[in-house]
Chain A
Amino acid sequence: MKPAPFRYFAPETLDEALSLLAEHGDEAKPLAGGQSLVPAMNFRLAQPAVLVDLNRIAALSFIRPDDAGGVVVGAMTRQRAVEHSELVAARAPLVTETVPYIAHAQIRNRGTFGGSLAHADPASELPAVALALDAQFTLACRSGQRVVPAEAFYTDLFETACGHEELLVDVRLPTAAAGSGFAFEELARRHGDYALVGVAVAVQRGADGTLIDARMAYLSVGPGPVLATRASASLLGTRGETEALRVAASLAAHEDIVDPPSDIHATAAYRRHLIEVLTVRALTRACSRAQEGA
């Protein structure tokens, strides 16, 4: 239950951190809040030879408005700071609603927004929220930066588009457009546990009140966060009537990419049942919020 030896670096600038990652390749791991990486090291599930601690890079910790009406969150911003940010509450209310579901206050005091997104645990809340919001991830390496949409960022179980020499530096959450509504629902055995199933939804009504956009994203139902595209598309053109929500929920529970596991916590069948129940709840709230916004 003690970590294997490693070389420790605590750079104070992004450039230094990127140089260290370039130099050490896949031997090195960035250390953010450590709330997933350190448990894995204590169990020796992870034995990186080099740790590049990002905690002293002040430039990676910020929450600021962007010109398009959205908000940009630096990767090293603590989950707790995001939870209490008025700017995030105003511009990305789905994030504010979801963060308290992550673990416990002591974990969120240390765990970072970017660390949770980069870790890509299929049972974690923020990756699903990023998919529902169509968030844009900025990745940096020594030779420059690129922007990757959430859908392209998540590639497989604990796998992302972020290469060994890259860092996630910030995440852009687009503005909540007029007529949009959001909601998050999950079921966990105890408060703060990883959820059996969770769903983040974002919908938008057009001028005539029908839905012109819908994105339903799930956690704990596949190898990563899962966007139920067919189910989401079924909502377009409806007014979000109860029957339309039921149809969408049922489609989501049976979409090909929705493949919930059976484990000691729940069977796959029970998880599918939860997908339907939680989807109807989340869509009902999101659609009624969208009404208010239109």
Chain B
Amino acid sequence: MDDSALIDVALTVNGTHYQRQVESRLLLSDFLRHDLGLTGTHVGCEHGVCGACTILLDGEAVRACLLFAAQVRGSTITTVEGLAAADGTLHPLQEAFRQAHGLQCGFCTPGFLLTLVPFLAENPNPDDREIRQAISGNLCRCTGYQGIVDAVRSLSRTGAPKPAHEAET
């Protein structure tokens, strides 16, 4: 194998199966955006600090900028594009963000949503301190976070269901 040898990757993203060949050094964030055209996963810092690239890898929130595409062979991934239903109905967490002004420019929003979906599944009833701790690994330069905390709190009795494509299966 020389340096430019391509590696086969087969995986499921938002319920769709993909098969591609990748260079070893291709970051998962770039694979999602450039190879699969799923540009909802945003890239802010590429060193794990900002949280904009957060996705679900086999159900767990992780940084897509700190994984190589070659590593996720056989995995199941959810990106922000997989949250809403096929008819465009927003996921309840997205709807809550909309209602509570949980976003302004929206750059950070995909990362917040994918951090919070598994958090709410594990803690359906978080208090404000727990919510703030849960989003401590995501930076937002617009909202001042209050709208985001309000959005999560508005769901805290009902919890957030699974992403649409997972609920269907």
B-binding residues in A (CB < 8 A): 1-8, 10, 34-35, 38-39, 41-43, 51, 53, 55, 80, 103-107, 109-110, 190-192
* Complexed CA–CA distance, A1 and B133 (Å): 29
Q: Quick check: which of B54-62, B90-98, B153-161 contacts chain A, the rest being far away?
A: B54-62
Given A3-B25, A109-B61, A190-B136, do A34 and B47 touch, yes or no (CB 8 Å)?
no
B27 nearest CB across to chain A (Å): 7
Residues of A within 8 A of B7 (CB): 8
B137 touches which of A38, A80, A192 (Cβ 8 Å): A192
Q: Mark B26-52, 1 if CB is under 8 A from A, else 0.
A: 010010000000000000001110010
Q: Does B65 contact A (CB under 8 A)?
A: yes
Residues of A within 8 A of B5 (CB): 7
B24 touches which of A5, A43, A105, A109 (Cβ 8 Å): A5
A106 nearest CB across to chain B (Å): 5
Count of A-B residue pairs with CB < 8 Å: 85
Closest residue of chain A to B5 (Cβ to Cβ) is A7
A107 touches which of B4, B30, B48 (Cβ 8 Å): B48
Q: Does B81 contact A (CB under 8 A)?
A: no
Q: Mark B126-164, 1 if CB is under 8 A from A, else 0.
A: 000000011011000000000000000000000000000
Residues of B within 8 A of A192 (CB): 136-137
Residues of A within 8 A of B108 (CB): none
Q: Quick check: which of B13-21, B66-74, B99-107 contacts chain A, the rest being far away?
A: B66-74
Residues of A within 8 A of B25 (CB): 2-6, 41
Given A34-B66, A35-B48, A35-B66, do A107 and B137 touch, yes or no (CB 8 Å)?
yes
Q: A2–B137 contact, CB under 8 A?
A: no
Q: A106–B24 contact, CB under 8 A?
A: no
Residues of A within 8 A of B54 (CB): 106
Given A4-B25, A6-B3, A51-B24, do A105 and B71 touch, yes or no (CB 8 Å)?
no
* Complexed CA–CA distance, A175 and B62 (Å): 32
**9 new A-B contacts at CB < 8 Å, known A8-B70, A10-B71:** A4-B25, A5-B4, A7-B24, A34-B66, A38-B67, A106-B51, A107-B137, A110-B62, A110-B66
Closest residue of chain B to A55 (Cβ to Cβ) is B71
B127 nearest CB across to chain A (Å): 15
Closest residue of chain B to A109 (Cβ to Cβ) is B60
Residues of B within 8 A of A4 (CB): 25
B132 nearest CB across to chain A (Å): 8
Residues of A within 8 A of B109 (CB): none
Please list 26 pairs of residues, one from A and one from B, whose beta carbons are closer than 8 Å in the complex, sorted by A's number: A2-B27, A2-B30, A3-B27, A4-B25, A5-B4, A7-B1, A7-B24, A8-B24, A8-B68, A8-B70, A34-B67, A35-B63, A38-B27, A38-B65, A39-B47, A39-B48, A42-B47, A103-B137, A106-B63, A106-B115, A106-B137, A110-B63, A190-B136, A191-B133, A191-B136, A192-B136
Residues of B within 8 A of A39 (CB): 46-48, 66
Residues of A within 8 A of B133 (CB): 191
Residues of A within 8 A of B66 (CB): 34-35, 38-39, 110
A121 nearest CB across to chain B (Å): 14
A181 nearest CB across to chain B (Å): 26
* Complexed CA–CA distance, A41 and B23 (Å): 15
A134 nearest CB across to chain B (Å): 31
B78 nearest CB across to chain A (Å): 14
Residues of A within 8 A of B62 (CB): 106, 109-110
* Complexed CA–CA distance, A106 and B51 (Å): 8
Q: B119–A105 contact, CB under 8 A?
A: yes
Residues of B within 8 A of A53 (CB): 71
* Complexed CA–CA distance, A34 and B68 (Å): 9
Residues of B within 8 A of A38 (CB): 27, 48, 65-68
* Complexed CA–CA distance, A41 and B71 (Å): 15
Closest residue of chain A to B60 (Cβ to Cβ) is A109
Residues of B within 8 A of A107 (CB): 48, 63, 137
